[in-house]
Each structure stands twice: as structure tokens, then as C-alpha cells.
Structure 1
Amino acid sequence: MGVPSRELIRADVAESLGESPDDLTDDENLLDRGLDSIRIMTLVEKWRRDGYHADFLDLAENPTVAGWESVLRRS
């Protein structure tokens, strides 16, 4: 299916945090914004259901919207 767009990644993360996508920057550390391992796992499961290959450890090591787009592109 390819890679989710940066906008989709940002929107999904923002929804998980209860924030507006406009409040998140591409290079902001999402862990510092309050994204914890449970929320990351929830996003991984959602993206897998949507047909994207997502790996928890890779995402946890690169906790930015831009980093996640890059990780998902390599998967």
C-alpha cells in the first residue's frame, strides 16, 4: 500500500494526543509531547490494519513525524 503521508501521520498522532495537527511540527520529539509506548503501539496497530508496515521499535527510536515517515518509507 505504500507509506502514509506526513499529513496522515501528523493527524493520527495529534488525534492520539488530543491535539490539533497544526500544533505538531515535523521534527518535534513526540515523546516530549506526551506520546507514550501505549499510544505508539495503538498507532502501529492502526497503521497495520490500514495496510502499512509499522514496527514499534523503529518508531520509538525515531520519535518525530519526519522520522516516522522515513522509517515507514524504508519498511
Structure 2
Amino acid sequence: MTEPLSLDLMRDDIAAIIHIDPEEIGDDDNLMDLGLDSMRAMNLVLLWRERGVHLDFSQLATRPTLAGWWLIAKQRMDAMAEA
């Protein structure tokens, strides 16, 4: 069974894909400035989809921070739980 998506897991996944330490990612840091490109972001979307959270890449692109992505993911997970 896969671990449910959390803020910390999201941070770890982003750090792993851009090869930096998770502590280097602040909640409000621009992920593109840290080295995340669109191909890697798409890979994260696919990874999180495997964990059951269906995120829209175009929505994430409008908020390229960990805090922004977590807000989108949390809203999506809450909506799924209510359905």
C-alpha cells in the first residue's frame, strides 16, 4: 500500500526529483527557481496520481510553490473524501 500524500511527502518527492535536500525547500519557494522543470513536474503529477490524488498540471503551474501545490492537493483530497 502506498503512503497517503502529505505536505512532508510532497516535499520529499519534489526534493528527490530535483536532487536536493528536502529541508532546502521552503513552503513559499518558487519550485522552478529550485530547478523543477515541466517534465519533472509532470512526473510528480503521475506519481501522486498513483497515490490516488489526481492533480491537474495546469493548475499546479499557476502556483509553483510547495504551499500552493499542497493547497491544491488538500482541496482535491477533501473533495474526494466528500464524494
Given residue 43 of structure 1, which amino acid in structure 2 is its aligned partner? L
Q: Structure 2: which 5+ runs fail to align?
A: 77-83
Task: Please state how far the C-alpha of 1:8 moved relative to its aligned partner.
Answer: 0.6
Give yes or no for contact 2:5–2:51 (8 Å, CA) kept in 1. Answer: no
Q: TM-score, normalised by structure 1?
A: 0.91
Question: Residue 53 of structure 2 aligns with which residue?
Answer: 52
Residue by residue over 1:20-44, the C-alpha shift from the partner in whole angstroms, topping out at 9 and shown as x without a partner, is: 1011100000011110100000000
Question: Residue 22 of structure 1 aligns with which residue?
Answer: 23
Question: Residue 6 of structure 2 aligns with which residue?
Answer: 5
In 2, the alpha carbon distance for the partners of 1:68 and 1:45 equals 14
- Higher relative contact order structure (alpha carbons within 8 Å, sequence separation ≥ 6): 1
Question: What is the total number of aligned residue pairs between the two structures?
Answer: 73
Give yes or no for contact 2:15–2:25 (8 Å, CA) kept in 1. Answer: yes
Q: Structure 1: which 5+ runs fail to align?
A: none
**Percent identity (aligned):** 44
CA RMSD of aligned residues (A): 1.1
Q: Which has the larger radius of gyration?
A: 2
In 1, the alpha carbon distance for the partners of 2:66 and 2:10 equals 6
Superposition pairs for residues 52-71 of structure 1, below 5 Å?
A: 52-71=53-72
In 2, the alpha carbon distance for the partners of 1:65 and 1:9 equals 8
Given residue 33 of structure 1, which amino acid in structure 2 is its aligned partner? L
